[in-house]
Amino acid sequence: MKLAIKKILLSAAAALAFSSCSLEEDPYGFLSNDNFYKTAADAESALVYAYSVNSDIEYYSRHFIIATEVPTETLTIKPDAGADQHALDRLEVLNNNKIVEDMWRYPYLAINRTNAVIQNVPNTPEMDDTRREEIVGEAKFLRALHYFNLVRFFGEVIIREEQVSSVDQVNKGVSSIEEVYNFILKDLTEAEAVLSTERVYGRANQVAVWALLSKVYLHMASAKNTGVQGYEWVSNADENYTSAANYAKKVLQDQSTYTFENDLMETWNVSNRATAREHIFVSATDRGGLIEGEYTKLPMLFMPWAEGAPQVVLPNGTTIPGGGWEHLWIEDDFAANYEESDRRGTLEMIVNKVTIPEGGNDGADLELVYPGGGLQATFPMKYLDPDMVGQQATCDTPILRYTDIMMVYCEAIGPNSETYALLDQIRGRAGLSPLAGGMGIQEFRDYILEERGRELAFEGKRLFDLRRTNSMEKVLGDQYGKPMTSGIYYFDIPLIEVDTNPEIN
């Protein structure tokens, strides 16, 4: 009966003047698995999509920096910022905090894109095999990076090895921290095998893999060494310190693409970003983009409001087109932590005054300073684009930096003449005298933790450094007097995941 009706209907419909009467509608305006991954260009494009999520507002271009710096002693936020950011500042982080939710959602969004690459590109016909393997290797590096972020933010997380493309794949339970680390190490080891050291701006290569491996091993080693809850399974801290040192050493010695930049400011010069010596891996942006994520507003978060002046001159003579939002403020206690002669703590890196040309009453230049007149706080020189258009900036978020890896090496190896020399090199760039030497291993590592705070400030490293060294209470509580109630070593898995995924209790 049903069939008969259908037949009658279809034949009747066929008589119509309509262009098509098939109930199969051709998709319009979007690609899908069916018509993608067919050419080398498709494979490259799939990889581009995996990279592009890094620069989204919700990830490295804004929220990652807020989530990793605001809870620590380095940054606070302006009074009229959102309640979630204030909760992060107080470390009173509930599981419905939207910034933290993004630290869950965006890595997974990115992981799904990398999984699509890892799954499909090996089957892409007619493409260069070397490039094919490289693309898969880059995707594995990215997947490892996102899992490393997830495990550091949340601890036990869900491992997803396959692109989610049907509903039965959606709900899945968490794996142990150990399993997550094994997964990360497997991805990185496989990526290491297929990538070269050739530098490609904004993309990952073998050096980035080494650098990330060194950080992963150091995280495990130091967490085990200092008794961080959740890392009891790590068999031996020293073995992991050794692995960390080995990979850091590869970065320092087995390649010549990246090296120590002697000029303190050059690393932050956006016009030379593609050749900057220190940036092993960044999330890339360009002011010529169409939406935020292609360009970034990261500088706007730091730059002073400056009374809406069209031009603001910084103490080093750099002119920036207009002020920013003065949203993230350097904490006074943190700025006071720099030695007087430390160039990183002075006007060169931490700015407390700007000049508005002819901004005064009688046409004179107007100076705004903090404290006392016109500025709410100091701001760093790390995120600036003198050529920004409107609010659209070129300003990459550093993810792996050479100096970071130097310090990873030093921390892993412990005190010896080589590591003292490396640390003195970093100190020397900041205008500081060499270390006296003679530190014990713990003292040495404690010093490095402090030095990392000063050197890598505002770069999205601080929360993880404090967490992996079990020093949240010691540093934030005891030293800086921050009240902390929740989300100290791990953030809770976001409520939205708990509410929708029955595999999570």
Residue 163 near another protein by CB under 8 A: yes
Tell me, letter by letter, the H, E, C secondary structure of 139-202: HHHHHHHHHHHHHHHHCCCCCCCCCCCCHHHCCCCCCCHHHHHHHHHHHHHHHHHHCCCCCCCC
Question: Using the rule CB under 8 A, which residue among 23, 235, 438, 481 binds another protein?
Answer: 23
Label residue 151 left, alpha or beta by phi (over 0 means left) and psi (-120 to 50 means alpha): alpha
User: Which residue is it, tokens 């491996």?
Assistant: 213
Q: Residue 366 has what DSSP assignment? A: E
Residue 44 near another protein by CB under 8 A: yes
Question: Using the rule CB under 8 A, which residue among 160, 224, 344, 445 binds another protein?
Answer: 160
Q: Pairing state of beta strands 279-283 and 75-77?
A: unpaired
Question: Using the rule CB under 8 A, which residue among 285, 337, 352, 397 binds another protein?
Answer: 285
In the sheet that 312-313 helps form, which strands lie side by side, from edge to edge? 319-320, 312-313, 353-356, 366-369
Nearer to another protein, 164 or 439 (CB): 164
Nearer to another protein, 317 or 372 (CB): 372
Euclidean distance between CA atoms 356 and 285, whole angstroms = 28
Residue 489 near another protein by CB under 8 A: no
Cα–Cα distances (Å) from 66 to 54, 82, 85, 301, 405, in that order, read 15, 12, 8, 10, 23
Euclidean distance between CA atoms 378 and 371, whole angstroms = 8
The pattern of x and - marking residues 55 through 84 that bind another protein according to CB under 8 A reads: x--x--------------------xx--xx
Euclidean distance between CA atoms 246 and 343, whole angstroms = 31
Nearer to another protein, 26 or 126 (CB): 26
Q: What angle do CA 13, 27, 120 make, to 5 degrees?
A: 140
Nearer to another protein, 266 or 499 (CB): 499
Question: Using the rule CB under 8 A, which residue among 123, 130, 161, 170 binds another protein?
Answer: 170
Which segment (158-166, 424-432, 457-465, 468-476) binds another protein by CB under 8 A? 158-166
Nearer to another protein, 315 or 374 (CB): 374
Residue 33 near another protein by CB under 8 A: yes
Which segment (66-74, 282-290, 423-431, 466-474) binds another protein by CB under 8 A? 282-290
**Shortest spacing between CB 237 and another protein, in angstroms:** 30
**What is the three-class DSSP state of 207?**
helix
Residues contacting residue 439 through CB under 8 Å, at least 6 positions apart: 415, 447
Which segment (29-37, 238-246, 259-267, 340-348) binds another protein by CB under 8 A? 29-37
First and final C-alpha spacing in the chain:
49
Residue 194's CB is within 10 A of a number of other CB atoms, namely 18
Residue 481 near another protein by CB under 8 A: no
Question: Using the rule CB under 8 A, which residue among 246, 376, 470, 479 binds another protein?
Answer: 376
Q: Contacts with another protein: how many residues (CB under 8 A)?
A: 119
Residue 485 near another protein by CB under 8 A: yes
Q: Which 299-338 positions form the footprint of another protein (CB under 8 A)?
A: 305-308, 323, 325-326
Q: Which 115-154 positions form the footprint of another protein (CB under 8 A)?
A: 116-117
Nearer to another protein, 363 or 372 (CB): 372
**Shortest spacing between CB 312 and another protein, in angstroms:** 12
Residue 281 near another protein by CB under 8 A: no
**Shortest spacing between CB 166 and another protein, in angstroms:** 7
Residue 108 one-letter amino acid: Y
Q: What is the largest CA-CA distance in the chain?
A: 94
Q: What share of the chain is helix, strand, coil (3-state, %, to 5)?
A: 50, 10, 45
Q: Which 196-225 positions form the footprint of another protein (CB under 8 A)?
A: 200-203
Nearer to another protein, 160 or 445 (CB): 160
Nearer to another protein, 94 or 439 (CB): 94
Q: Which 402-461 positions form the footprint of another protein (CB under 8 A)?
A: none
